[in-house]
Amino acid sequence: MNQSTPKSHPKGLYVLFATEMWERFNYYGMRAILVLFMTKALLFDKAFASNLYGSYTSLVYLTPLLGGYIADRYWGNQRSIIAGGLVMAIGEFILFFCGSTYISSPQLSSVLFFTGLGFMIAGNGFFKPNISSLVGQLYPKGDRRIDSAYTIFYMGINVGGAIGPFICGLVGDTGNPADFRWAFLAGGIGMLLSVVVQQLFHRKYVLDPDNNILGLTPSTSTPKWIKPINMFVGLLVLSAIAVGLLYIDAKVIGYLTYLLLGAIGFIAFVIFSDKLLSKEEKIKVAVIFTVSFFVIFFWSAFEQAGASLTFFAEEQTQRNLGFFLVPASWFQSLNSVFVVSFAPLFAWIWIKLGKYEPSSPFKMAMGLFLLALGYLWIAFGVKGVHPGIKVSMIWLTGMYALHTWGELCLSPIGLSLVNKLAPLKFASLLMAVWFTANAIANKLAGVLSALYPENGKTTVFLGYHMSNMNEFFMLFVFMAGLASLILFFLSGKLKKMMV
């Protein structure tokens, strides 16, 4: 990278942007119709569908722990991204066959459903941590462009996140449950496009500041680890394990929360017991663990988008424009549309503030505060509204706008913070810690969504009773608001620990 042009970004950033964009098209497009497919085609009840959604999205964020570890030591980033992408595409095509057989062969369809989700979980584990960790490696250490680079990369995520629910909702969420399969097919095609971009352009453009290709086979690897047949068998076994983990948590015993907490504890032990890490490096790792704890409160509320907020859009939002009925799944595009619209503004603000720019923990506290405001907005919109009465789309739209501003303060900033503070030897593993916090949050999101007070029924969370949508949304106002205040209070100390 030419140091004389510090305002420009390396071309590799845009290769990673496009790779991630198509993968997110696949993920968010499928997520937009997932609970609707479960309740309308497979006829699961809302509580079961919510919990299964939470288990699935949680495991999607847990498997990067393993994928990051294998990439760091054996496969390298690029090989892991391509392998994971192909496994995810296969998962979508299995779900396409599930959506084609749920009427003619319900038992086969059920097997295909869990199998397809298992492949998606396993593939994502190799894709997700590796592409995120490459972004920061395009730049010299301490380069001020890294925050804006992650924000641009985040726009790639959200271009895909905007187009995915729109296209998948258009072809799948038609009112006819048999059409959901076309959404899965569209997601699979998007995933294949992601793999093609990565295969064609990575070695030419994804380079470090000294023009070395990033993400190749690590020096610690041996030929047997990257032998295609061994990789194929390994991915098949991991996919089968993911299918089993999801099925057991959904149908047998809900163990996932304990597994997630155990995973975080194990990683903390591995890193803090490493005698080669200096005291300063361990203090910086402690900051990563601290902010990761707070993002649990953010994402567990934010991820209601794919579950309870989709039910709310479907049943209690006035979507009839007179000439067109807006699919409920389309509301999941709003967040991404707002990110694409506002991300350049936020990136510009952080750079423009210069020495007055808030610290990363302070920005993340702002994100939690804005999330709480979003739920306060929609809670006001449904106050006094009886079950079955539909409210204006403005309430969901305004809430998603506030949530997006919160996300822009928290998510790209958090990704950048992990990249800046993580010791190089644990770069992907600590990125996976960030995603494990997301995993815990997604599981909690499913549990909270199952408390959706449908038709006036009363649900309870930690002694708090909810019998209407206002009380349900206020739960998230209290939760995110309190976490925000505590993180504001701690941000000064965390800033000192980051130096």
**Under a CB-based contact definition with an 8 Å cutoff, are residues 59 and 435 in contact?**
no
Interacting residues of 385 by C-beta distance below 8 A, sequence separation 6+: 316, 391, 468, 469, 470
Q: 103: which DSSP letter?
A: T
- The residue with tokens 């076994």 is 237
pLDDT at 2: 46
- The three-state secondary structure class of 253 is coil
User: Rounded CA gap, 28 and 98, in Å?
Assistant: 19
How much is the pLDDT for 382?
92
pLDDT score for 131: 85
> What pLDDT score was predicted for residue 3?
46
Question: What pLDDT is recorded for position 455?
Answer: 73
Nearest residue to 64 via CA among 115, 124, 105: 124
Q: Show Cβ contacts of residue 269 under 8 Å, excluding neighbours closer than 6 positions.
A: none
Residue 337's identity, in one-letter code, is V
d(CA 58, CA 56) in angstroms, rounded, equals 5
pLDDT, position 80: 92
Outline where 41-105 has alpha helix (H). Answer: 46-62, 64-70, 77-101
Residue 204: what pLDDT? 92
Question: Average pLDDT by consecutive 10-residue portion of the chain (499 residues)?
Answer: 60 92 94 94 92 92 84 89 95 96 92 96 89 85 80 83 94 93 96 95 90 86 87 94 93 87 86 86 90 93 93 92 92 91 84 86 94 96 85 95 93 82 80 83 93 83 89 95 94 85
Q: What is the largest CA-CA distance in the chain?
A: 67
